[in-house]
Chains A and B, each alone.
Chain A
Amino acid sequence: MTSPMVRVRDLHKSYGAVPVLRGVDLDVGAGEVTCVIGPSGSGKSTLLRCLNHLEKINAGEVEVAGELIGYRRHKGKLHELGPRAITRQRAAIGMVFQNFNLFPHLTVLENIAEAPIAVLRRSRTDAVARARELVRRVGLAGREDDYPRRLSGGQQQRIAIARALAMDPKLMLFDEPTSALDPELVGDVLGVMKDLADGGMTMVVVTHEMGFAREAADTVVFLDEGVVVESGAPDDVLRNPRQARTREFLARVL
Chain B
Amino acid sequence: MSAFPELVEVSDNHPAQPGASPPGAVPAGESPAAPPERTQPPPKVVALRRPGRWISAAVVLLFFAAGARSVITNREFQWPVVRQYFTTSAVLHGLLFTLWLTAVTMVAGFAIGTLLAVLRLSGNPVLSSLSWGYVWIFRSTPLLVQLLFWFNIGALYPRLSIGIPFGPSLFTADTVNLIGPTAAAVIGLALHEAAYAAEIVRGGVLSVDAGQAEAATALGLGRARILRRIVIPQAMRSIIPAAGNLLIGTLKGTSIVSVLAVQDLLYSVQLIYNRNYLIIPLLLVATIWYVVVTSLLTVGQYYVERHFARGAARTLPPTPLHRLRVALRTVVARSRGAVLGGGTR
Chain A contact residues, CB within 8 Å of chain B = 52, 54, 83-84, 87-88, 90-95, 97, 99, 101-107, 114-115, 118-119, 147-150, 160, 163-164, 167
**Which applies to chain B's interface (DSSP): helix, strand, loop or mixed?**
helix
Give the residues in chain A near B234, CB-CB below 8 Å: 103-105
How far, in whole Å, are A158 and B220 apart by their CA atoms in the complex?
20
- Asked whether B223 is an interface residue with its Cβ less than 8 Å from the other chain, the reply is yes
- A103 & B221 in contact (Cβ 8 Å cutoff): no
Taking a contact as CB atoms closer than 8 A, the residue among B211, B219, B308 that contacts A115 in the complex is B219
Taking a contact as CB atoms closer than 8 A, the residue among B211, B230, B311, B313 that contacts A99 in the complex is B211
CB-nearest residue of chain A to B308: A105
- B229 & A118 in contact (Cβ 8 Å cutoff): yes
Cβ-closest 3 pairs across A and B: A91-B220, A147-B311, A101-B215
How far, in whole Å, are A236 and B230 apart by their CA atoms in the complex?
44
- B215 & A147 in contact (Cβ 8 Å cutoff): no
Give the residues in chain B near A148, CB-CB below 8 Å: 311
How far, in whole Å, are A138 and B215 apart by their CA atoms in the complex?
19
Count of A-B contacts judged by CB separation below 8 Å: 76
Taking a contact as CB atoms closer than 8 A, the residue among A54, A88, A106 that contacts B311 in the complex is A106
- A87 & B311 in contact (Cβ 8 Å cutoff): no
- Asked whether B46 is an interface residue with its Cβ less than 8 Å from the other chain, the reply is no
Give the residues in chain A near B314, CB-CB below 8 Å: 149-150
CB-nearest residue of chain B to A104: B311
How far, in whole Å, are A118 and B226 apart by their CA atoms in the complex?
10
- Asked whether B222 is an interface residue with its Cβ less than 8 Å from the other chain, the reply is yes
Give the residues in chain B near A95, CB-CB below 8 Å: 215, 218
Taking a contact as CB atoms closer than 8 A, the residue among B211, B222, B230, B311 that contacts A97 in the complex is B211
- B222 & A103 in contact (Cβ 8 Å cutoff): no
CB-nearest residue of chain A to B310: A105
Give the residues in chain B near A106, CB-CB below 8 Å: 311
Give the residues in chain A near B218, CB-CB below 8 Å: 52, 54, 90, 93-95, 164
- B225 & A118 in contact (Cβ 8 Å cutoff): yes
CB-nearest residue of chain B to A151: B314
- A87 & B221 in contact (Cβ 8 Å cutoff): yes
Give the residues in chain B near A90, CB-CB below 8 Å: 217-220
Interface size class of B (residues with CB under 8 A): 20 to 34
Give the residues in chain A near B180, CB-CB below 8 Å: none
Q: Which of B217, B218, B223, B312 has the largest count of A CB atoms less than 10 A from its CB?
A: B218
**Known pairs A103-B216, A105-B311. 12 more at Cβ < 8 A?**
A83-B222, A84-B222, A90-B219, A95-B218, A97-B214, A97-B215, A99-B211, A101-B211, A105-B312, A106-B311, A107-B311, A118-B222
User: Interface 1/0s, chain B 180-216, versus A by CB < 8 A?
Assistant: 0000000000000000000000000000010110111
How far, in whole Å, are A93 and B220 apart by their CA atoms in the complex?
9
Give the residues in chain B near A149, CB-CB below 8 Å: 311-314
- A179 to B: closest C-beta gap in Å: 14
Give the residues in chain A near B225, CB-CB below 8 Å: 118
- Asked whether B233 is an interface residue with its Cβ less than 8 Å from the other chain, the reply is yes
Give the residues in chain A near B216, CB-CB below 8 Å: 103, 115
CB-nearest residue of chain A to B229: A114
22 examples of A-B residue contacts, CB within 8 angstroms: A83-B222, A88-B220, A90-B217, A91-B220, A93-B218, A95-B218, A97-B215, A101-B209, A101-B214, A101-B215, A102-B215, A103-B234, A104-B234, A104-B312, A105-B308, A106-B311, A107-B311, A115-B220, A119-B220, A119-B221, A147-B311, A167-B220
- B211 & A87 in contact (Cβ 8 Å cutoff): no
